[in-house]
Amino acid sequence: MVTTQTNRGVGSLLREVAEDGAHLARQEVHLARIEFAQIARDIGKGTGYTVAAGMIGLLTAQMLVFGIVLLMGDALFRGHYWIAAFVLTILLGAVAFFLLKRGTALLSPSNIKPEETLATLRRTRNG
């Protein structure tokens, strides 16, 4: 004897599969939203910590420079701290300029492009 379970038609089975697939897709989208929300929170926290560390690092660097100015003023310039500050400003300015030039060269659009990946994609598309 055939049960009611096996009497269902192919259309009914396909409809169930489609409904289950849609339900699964909705669940996956919901999970992705939850994960992306957590990722966004973590990115926000990480950015905040990084900015705070950068600010404290900048203050630390300023205190170090101030200490070097005092040391140079006493040891090299016989109490003329303004000369020490001027010399150190020139040195740090030169270092900053060098780093700026290197950084802008590395960030130019020609260096950012993924050349090997683009070449691979071109070969795959053409061949």
Structure confidence by residue, pLDDT tens digits, 36-64: 999 999 999 999 999 999 999 999 999 99
Burial 3-15 (b: 16+ CB within 10 A, else e): eeeeeeeeeeeee
Domain locations in the chain as residue ranges: 4-126
pLDDT tens-digit series, residues 85-104: 999 999 999 999 999 999 99
Residue 101 CA to residue 80 CA, distance in Å, equals: 33
Task: Note whether 75 and 68 are within 8 A (CB).
Answer: no
What is the 8-class DSSP label of residue 120? H
pTM over 0.75: no
